[in-house]
């Protein structure tokens, strides 16, 4: 396992950092967090996902523990996203059977919405851009949803979804919040917060650092709200993004929501986003200690290392978006100054989020074989 040369692309300390539980829970209310756990934990097949330890990597990095929350085991959908979209569908449908739900997606969110619709026997229309893989489309179709391909990028698919939904009176279940669209994204984020509720029951160790990967920031903000609600001590929060899609870092740097231009899509497709969702921005601009970015360079190697027990005693199936926390932690530990600045030492209990397994089976196989070379 040769990781000594792994580096971060960028590091930014958040000058406006101020973690305030009440402030965070004003944007993502405690009642929603409680309700999401109450509902989702009753779903058939619900189990806490494993909280694993990367003990081999830990020996190398000299920390106390590296915990890895393994979302490859989240229901049969293989990603944390299963929690958000499906929960929002349940709440929005209010037991009404005649509605049709719709969504635009890069993959995992749409799969969750389609699964939520299937559970409740609702009709479902999912819009995808030309960049979403056939494998991901097939998975959504297997759940009984109609998938509509749209020429262009994610934004184009969302536009089409909004137009068609207005015309046909479909209920849009989107995970991105804007000024006039808050409640449904709040529901999806509340669903994600369950990860933290589970972790609070899975270890007695106080977590000192959390590495949170971000696309539009929904996962990160949902987990930050979980921390505000369920953790006794507040860990350092480190946001990780692909260097080709660093909209959180750029927003925090300029202290305003920034739309960036993506010149080339990252292999971490679910995180290849050009603009933050509004609610996550309101939460993360204060709650994040720092932001880091990483390149795609070590993604395949990390997928292979997780699978081939290089980081842990157990073999772990982690897809492309499950790797950035591991890569960023290694990059940070390799930089003596940063390691000190952020207090990563022998007393640190680091939490990484293994947010997806082989959700795209074909891509996973390609990454695995590339990473083993
Ligand atoms: C597997 C995976 N990880 C991370 C993310 C990023 O989540 P968010 O866009 O809520 O920040 C996504 C989003 O699609 C995803 O599918």
Decide: 367 and 147 in contact? Cβ < 8 Å.
no
Query: What CATH number is given to the structural domain containing 30?
Result: 3.40.50.1100
Q: How far apart are CA 179 and CA 257, in angstroms?
A: 12
Question: Ligand 1 centre and the CA of 241: distance in Å?
Answer: 10
What value does the mean pLDDT take over residues 14-28? 98
Q: Are residues 126 and 143 in the same domain?
A: yes
Per residue in 124-156, pLDDT (tens digit) is 999 999 989 999 999 999 999 999 999 988 889
First to last CA, the chain: 13
For residue 275, give Cα distances in angstroms to 30, 249, 255, 299, 316.
Answer: 26, 11, 14, 23, 31
Answering whether pTM is above 0.75, one says yes
Strands (E), the chain: 10-13, 51-53, 65-70, 100-105, 123-129, 146-150, 171-172, 209-213, 236-242, 290-294, 349-354
Buried b (16+ CB within 10 A) or exposed e, 310-322: bbbeeebbbbbbb
Which protein residues are within 6 Å of ligand 1, measured from CB? 79, 81, 106, 108-109, 213-220, 270-271, 273, 321, 355-356
Q: Are residues 158 and 37 in the same domain?
A: no
Residue 183 counted as domain residue:
no
Q: Are residues 148 and 64 in the same domain?
A: no
Residue 312 counted as domain residue:
yes
For residue 223, give Cα distances in angstroms to 93, 195, 238.
Answer: 25, 7, 12
Number of folded domains that form the chain:
2
Q: Are residues 48 and 139 in the same domain?
A: no
CA 100 to centroid of chain Cα atoms: 26
Task: List beta partners, residue 356.
Answer: 79
pLDDT for 106 equals: 86
pLDDT for 154 equals: 86
Q: Which atom of ligand 1 is nearest to the CA of 214?
A: 11
Decide: 138 and 110 in contact? Cβ < 8 Å.
no
pLDDT for 94 equals: 86
pLDDT for 370 equals: 98
Question: Ligand 1 centre and the CA of 321: distance in Å?
Answer: 7
Q: Are residues 202 and 280 in the same domain?
A: yes
Q: State which residues form the domain around 241.
A: 10-79+188-372
Residue 217 counted as domain residue:
yes
The last residue of one of the domains, among 127, 153, 176, is 176
pLDDT for 254 equals: 97
What value does the mean pLDDT take over residues 282-300? 98
Q: Are residues 71 and 87 in the same domain?
A: no
CA 277 to centroid of chain Cα atoms: 13
Q: Are residues 269 and 335 in the same domain?
A: yes
pLDDT for 3 equals: 94
Q: Are residues 199 and 143 in the same domain?
A: no
Residue 181 counted as domain residue:
no
Residue 96 counted as domain residue:
yes
Tokens found for residue 144: 């009984």
Q: Are residues 301 and 218 in the same domain?
A: yes
> Which residue's CA lies nearest to atom 14 of ligand 1?
270
For the chain, percent of residues with pLDDT exceeding 70:
100
Q: Are residues 74 and 92 in the same domain?
A: no
Mean pLDDT (the chain) is 96
- Give CA angle at 47 (115, 299), nearest 5°: 75
Residue 1 counted as domain residue:
no
> Which residue's CA lies nearest to atom 6 of ligand 1?
215
Q: Are residues 69 and 89 in the same domain?
A: no
3-state helix, strand, coil in the chain (%, to 5): 45, 15, 40
Task: List beta partners, residue 178.
Answer: 181
What value does the mean pLDDT take over residues 228-242? 98
Question: Ligand 1 centre and the CA of 215: distance in Å?
Answer: 5
pLDDT for 155 equals: 86
> Which residue's CA lies nearest to atom 16 of ligand 1?
270
The last residue of one of the domains, among 141, 176, 211, is 176
């Amino acid at each position: 396992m040769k990781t000594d040369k792994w580096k971060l692309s960028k590091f930014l300390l958040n000058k406006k950092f101020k973690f305030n539980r009440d402030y965070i829970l004003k944007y993502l209310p405690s009642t929603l967090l409680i309700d999401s756990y109450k509902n989702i934990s009753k779903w058939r097949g619900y189990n806490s996902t494993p909280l694993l330890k990367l003990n081999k990597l830990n020996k190398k990095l000299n920390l106390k523990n590296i915990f890895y929350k393994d979302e490859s085991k989240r229901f049969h959908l293989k990603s944390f996203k299963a929690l958000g979209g499906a929960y929002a569908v349940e709440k929005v449908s209010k037991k009404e059977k005649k509605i049709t739900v719709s969504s635009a997606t890069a993959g995992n969110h749409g799969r969750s919405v389609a699964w939520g619709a299937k559970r409740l026997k609702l009709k479902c229309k999912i819009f995808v851009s030309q960049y979403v893989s056939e494998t991901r489309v097939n998975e959504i179709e297997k759940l009984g949803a109609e998938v509509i391909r749209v020429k262009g990028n994610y934004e184009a698919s969302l536009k089409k979804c909004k137009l068609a939904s207005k015309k046909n009176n479909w209920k849009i279940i989107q995970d991105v919040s804007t000024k006039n669209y808050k409640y449904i994204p709040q529901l999806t984020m509340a669903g994600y917060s369950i990860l933290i509720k589970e972790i609070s029951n899975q270890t007695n160790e106080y977590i000192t650092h959390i590495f949170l990967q971000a696309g539009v920031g929904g996962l990160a903000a949902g987990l930050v709200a979980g921390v505000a609600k369920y953790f006794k001590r507040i860990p350092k929060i480190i946001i990780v993004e692909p260097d080709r899609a660093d909209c959180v870092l750029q927003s925090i740097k300029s202290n305003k929501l920034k739309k960036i231009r993506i010149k080339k899509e990252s292999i971490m497709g679910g995180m290849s986003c050009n603009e933050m969702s509004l609610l996550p921005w309101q939460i993360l601009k204060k709650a994040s200690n720092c932001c880091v970015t990483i390149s795609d360079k070590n993604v395949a190697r990390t997928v292979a290392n997780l699978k081939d027990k290089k980081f842990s005693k157990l073999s772990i199936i982690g897809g492309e978006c499950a790797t950035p926390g591991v890569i960023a932690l290694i990059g940070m530990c390799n930089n003596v100054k940063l390691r000190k600045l952020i207090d990563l030492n022998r007393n640190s209990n680091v939490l990484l989020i293994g947010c997806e397994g082989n959700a795209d089976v074909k891509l996973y196989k390609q990454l695995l074989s590339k990473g083993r070379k």
